[in-house]
Chain A
Amino acid sequence: MLVSTKWLAEYVNTQGLDPKDLGEKITRAGIEVDAVIDRSHGMTNVVVGYVKEKVKHPEADKLNICQVDVGDETTQIICGAPNVEAGQKVIVARPGAVLPGGMKIKKAKLRGEESNGMICSLQELGIEGRLVSKAYADGIYVLPETAVPGESVLPLLGLDDVVLELGLTPNRSDALSMLGVAYEVGAILSEDMKYPEATYTESNEKASDYLSLKIDAIEENPMYIAKVVKNIQVKESPLWLQHRLMAAGVRPHNNVVDITNYVLMEYGQPLHAFDYDRLETKEIVVRLANEGEKIVTLDDQERTLKSNHLVITNGNGPVAIAGVMGGANSEVHDGTTTVVIESAYFAGGSVRQTSKDHNLRSDASARFEKGVDPNRVILAAERAASLLAELAGGEVLAGSVIVDELDKTPAEVVVSPDFINNRLGMKISLEDMTSILTRLKFDYQAANGLLYIKAPTRRQDIKIEEDIIEEIARMYGYDEIPMTLPVEESKPGGLTSYQAKRRQVRAFLEGAGLYQAITYSLTSKEMSQKFALETAPVTELLMPMSEDRSILRQSLIPHLLEAVTYNTARQADTVALYEVGSVFLGETESGLPHEQEHLAAVISGKWLDHSWQGEKKAVDFFVLKGIVEGLMELLGLSKEITFERTVVDGLHPGRTASIQLAGEEIGLIAQLHPSEQKDRDLKETYVMELNLAQVLNKEVEALYYAPVSKFPSISRDIALVVDSEKATGELQAIIQLSGGRLLKNVHLFDLYEGEKMEQGKKSVAFSLTYFDPERTLTDEEVVNAHNKVLKALAEQAGAELRG
């Protein structure tokens, strides 16, 4: 809502406050002033000029040489506008003027001819093009003949004004009108209101003789009033009205349309003017549209209606979509002589649905949607009639046609001053409270220790006690509220075990060299299930904004890979990222998808680079695996984690492992498939994803210390020759199982495969540690245990001791 402070001052005494200060007061009281716009933009030296003479520029077809009376002199100005003519009063920016765009006006020569200033369009004075009436949209602006050469144009054009731009919250639709804002300002400044006048002489003829009215959808349209004004002359509105509309962000058209818009801005009540003769019938019937019924609206669009759209008809077909837009067939035009002014109360929900269906949002629909003041429907119609009489020479027919079943009962709220003070934590006196209610123009009675309040119908947001608390508090001033802390039983706060562990997971991964990434949950169809740990139906948006963001992800890896590509393309040597986020799988009983928190990581590029000491290493599978193992150790799950070769689409078939927790798959770790790497312009890249929720929710034994023994342990190394395909993990498992209770640790320390080995064989070396916490082991005991291991290895894995 744009509020001209000059216009506002017609309804309420703004006490000569600087608009900025006024804006600040309004903001602090509850309606945010988003901007304070000085319409003059600090312009000077922009005056009325009288074009005495116009001749073509000898050297340029499109330029005219004008002799312009600018008050103190007649001076030559070159003008390129197509519509400049001798005899016009125009806007002249004289040398020294600075226009809103920053243009400085100087004396100049154009193709050899002197030019002492510029004849201006409204746009050049900082008025948005969309607000300039069509007649002057493409040229200079022509002032009325009464304008006096040499005088500043600013007051004439209403540019000596400051506009407050209000950012209205949905509850304060009462401030979608100048009067509404005036009430608010009056309450803030403790000033009284001046109301607009609606006085005219009624004609002998009666409106009801011209028009009949029938409402067939009383729920959607509980109130409708039509006034008929004849003998009007459609023409340009007076300047003051045009400029008030422009200040309010409305483009002037002609006096009839402008008057309806003016009253809309003044009262917040949308009006519509029909050309009476073009209605063809003498009736207005409001009803719900027939499914598929068509209407061409004012914007020349043919629109197909649905059966829940409310239309105004002439008894035959629609002439307007109620509250949204008029029809082209009944539009007021230059030759219109009789108009029907419609002022109605259309139900918010109905207008909202209709305007949404047609993607048509207008000043009118915005107000209906939020609910107009039931008590202004008639006032606005009368005000429009009076302005039509005054500004369009109209003759207002007596009376009006009206259907009114609208409930105009004000909301009643009963509240105790104690309740107000308790909720605020304040001690506002009853006098202060009632004084605020008076300023707000709320009817109230104080009795029995209670306040009985009737909220005015313009304030439809006031319904319950808490609404009154807010009114009192905001007018009293939020700065006056003291600062306290809740008085309550003191209870410790904190993280749940899950949340605390998740933080430690993050810290571990960051300590291991990974940066935390956050990527989007919405992805494309192709990406949604890629690399997913389990197959489940996807969760799809009804109306996505783009294909790329249309489905919820089932794996975190695809977007992390996008981040790797992004960074690699920007010369990052190493990209190491992890993400903790939800994936969305299938559907649960409640209809919501199953949301599972996952952890994923990607590494690509260099892992180690300490070149001056000769250390440099690219990432590999085991770097990432080491991180996973370290994480499992942190979480106390090392013993239950196993890795098993597997194959997953898009991953390197020889370098993919399923991660299993106590035999159940909880994740995967792999190199990205070389062809995928190529597609993404990546070097070797490794990925892993874990079902974090499952990992963190896994119960672990309480940490219990094992005494540090004073007895020594004994180590034995073994080098084995096995088939190349034999997994070392399998060997290790055999060793662990067969080693008995004395075997405390198995450590792989060498792996060799190559020239010195028989084809298809490899050498694997383990170091085994035997240990008894109670005593020193004898050689014999160790030999016995060790032999069992060797036997098991030979039998179960065909492993030979390497000679």
Chain B
Amino acid sequence: MEAQLQQLKEEALQKITASVNVKELNDVRVAYLGKKGPITDLLKGMGNLPAEERPKMGALVNVVREEVTTVLEARMTLLQEQAINEQLEKESIDVTLPGRPVKTGNHHPLTRVVEEIEDLFIGMGYEIAEGPEVEKDYYNFEALNLPKGHPARDMQDSFYISEDILLRTHTSPVQARTMEAKEGQPIKIICPGKVYRRDNDDATHSHQFTQIEGLVIGENIRMSDLKGTLSVFAKKMFGDEREIRLRPSFFPFTEPSVEMDISCFKCGGDGCNVCKKTGWIEILGAGMVHPNVLEMAGYDSKKLSGFAFGMGPERIAMLKYGVEDIRHFYTNDVRFLSQFHRTEV
């Protein structure tokens, strides 16, 4: 019986070694170590042995079984590993193949600029005010200190619908409407929107364009507040190193009126083609709200004062992104639009 056991062991070990995959090895396990296998049979057959031989024989069988099991398991680990490796090998892919694209669109560059400005001022406590694009002459001009026949109306030839109604030439009528609605209360708003002027479309003119204006009215609003606010805007929009300078200018609805330049963000002020070698770039117009405008909207101009500013998102986008032709904003060429995909915060 011992010899038989030894032979079984030799056979089993040989078959284990000969197994080349997990399945074959499992077959070997079942064949030799399974419930119906020869080793189990041997153990079952031990009943026929004399009682004194049984422990010795039992121990022997167990030793053989453990030995076979150990070898088998080692072989199993090896084969499993091999199997996994084979599978991995088979499953490997060309990771340089392109991924499935997540096709997304993006904001129009003007919206991108407008929202950036909106958010910046929202952070300073401003609200966003909007108004109609077709306006009454009163809100577009008269309430802004531009009575009929005022020479400054020349500056903005307009699209009239009737004698009293026109396409707004700036977003300032939203300010006039807001002032009227607020009935003497303080105001802090940003007004973005489309505006229209009688211009022939070319590289620098568009009969339709965008404006964004701001208005603050309160007690003792000073010109220094305007300057400080514009400086915050310039730094956030164009970089912390930006300096601003104000130049006197003229708008009928503000007095004093200014134009704001920022130090060139391309050359830092040394002079380049962006700033036309001056080191400064004109960004916006602003001023202290004209007392006539305040009074017309029912504000006491001796008690309350305010400032307003306005700029063109087209111009800002052109400067910021180097867009050379204003018509690009309205052609909606996907090759243009899709360039404003990436974030830039």
Contacts and interface: CB of A to CB of B under 8 A. Distances in A.
A495 B128 contact: yes
A555 interface: no
A431 interface: no
A65 interface: no
B110 interface: yes
Given A29-B248, A592-B165, A595-B133, A518 B255 contact: no
Nearest to B149: A349
Contacts of B97: 612
Contacts of B105: 509-510, 512-516, 576-578
A185 B224 CA distance: 26
B85 interface: no
Contact of B332 (A369, A494, A511, A563): A563
A487 B245 CA distance: 22
Interface stretch (B4-12, B19-27, B53-61, B214-222): B214-222
Contacts, number: 242
A545 B250 CA distance: 28
Interface residues of B, number: 86
Contacts of B110: 518
Interface stretch (B29-37, B43-51, B76-84, B116-124): B116-124
Interface in B204-252: 207-208, 216, 218-225, 227-229, 231-232, 245-250
B200 interface: yes
B288 interface: yes
Contacts of A493: 121-127, 188
B151 interface: yes
A369 to B, nearest CB: 6
A204 interface: no
Contacts of A613: 100
Given A567-B332, A610-B100, A169 B249 contact: yes
B196 interface: yes
A510 B108 CA distance: 10
A541 interface: yes
Contact-residue size bin, chain A (C-beta under 8 Å from the other chain): 35 or more
B175 interface: no
A423 B228 contact: no
B325 to A, nearest CB: 15
Interface string A469-506: 11001100011011111111111111110010001001
Interface in B44-102: 97-98, 100-101
A567 to B, nearest CB: 5
Interface string B123-149: 111111010111110000000000001
Contact of A494 (B127, B220, B232, B334): B127
Interface string B333-345: 1110110000000
Contact of B225 (A170, A425, A492): A425
A521 B134 CA distance: 11
A570 interface: yes
Contacts of A543: 159-160
Interface in B298-318: 305
B103 A513 contact: yes
B183 interface: no
Given A499-B128, A510-B107, A595-B134, A566 B333 contact: yes
Contacts of A482: 224, 227-228
A560 B134 CA distance: 21
Interface in A410-450: 422-426
B152 interface: yes
A405 interface: no
B256 interface: yes
Contact of B125 (A492, A509, A521, A610): A492
Given A515-B338, A576-B105, A487 B133 contact: no
Interface in B249-281: 249-250, 255-259
Contact of B161 (A478, A479, A542): A542
A541 B160 contact: yes
Contacts of A514: 105
Given A483-B227, A486-B218, A503 B196 contact: no
Interface string B171-193: 00000000000000010100000
B332 to A, nearest CB: 4
Contacts of A512: 104-105
B288 A423 contact: yes
Interface of B: 97-98, 100-101, 103-108, 110-111, 115, 118, 121-128, 130, 132-136, 149, 151-152, 154-155, 159-162, 164-165, 167, 186, 188, 194, 196, 198, 200, 207-208, 216, 218-225, 227-229, 231-232, 245-250, 255-259, 288, 290-291, 305, 329-335, 337-338
12 contacts: A348-B151, A349-B149, A464-B291, A469-B255, A482-B227, A494-B127, A515-B332, A566-B333, A567-B334, A610-B100, A610-B101, A612-B98
Given A423-B223, A503-B115, A541-B161, 17 more contacts: A424-B222, A425-B222, A426-B224, A470-B257, A473-B256, A484-B228, A488-B188, A488-B218, A493-B127, A495-B128, A511-B104, A516-B111, A541-B160, A543-B160, A545-B198, A570-B335, A590-B136
